[in-house]
Amino acid sequence: MEFNVKLAGSPIRRIGYERWLRNIAVALGNANSSDEALGALRSRAGHPSEMVREHVQWALRRHDAEP
């Protein structure tokens, strides 16, 4: 997986790809609204991981946006 290769030796790799995406969703949910942030969130709205989808939906609600 590209995530593991690019982040070899990084503390981010230890949390794994799904938790990393969750953390990004939380950060974007707390950030100022922008087209880029909303686009990034929407791009993961259908992610296979329920945890990621849940946090993406939370972040989109914080921006009063739909997936």
Residue 67 covered by a domain? no
With a cut of 90, say whether residue 58 has pLDDT above it.
yes
* pTM, full prediction: 0.89
Mean pLDDT of the chain: 95
Number of domains in the chain: 1
Residue 1: pLDDT band with limits 50, 70, 90:
confident
With a cut of 80, say whether residue 54 has pLDDT above it.
yes
Residue 18 covered by a domain? yes
Q: Which domain does 52 fall in, by range?
A: 2-62
What gap in Å lies between CA 9 and CA 51, rounded to an integer?
25
Q: Which of 21, 16, 13 is nearest to 46 (CA)?
A: 21
Average pLDDT over residues 4-32: 94
Secondary structure of the chain as H, E, C letters: CHHHHHCCCCHHHHHCHHHHHHHHHHHHHHCCCCHHHHHHHHHCCCCCCHHHHHHHHHHHHHCCCCC
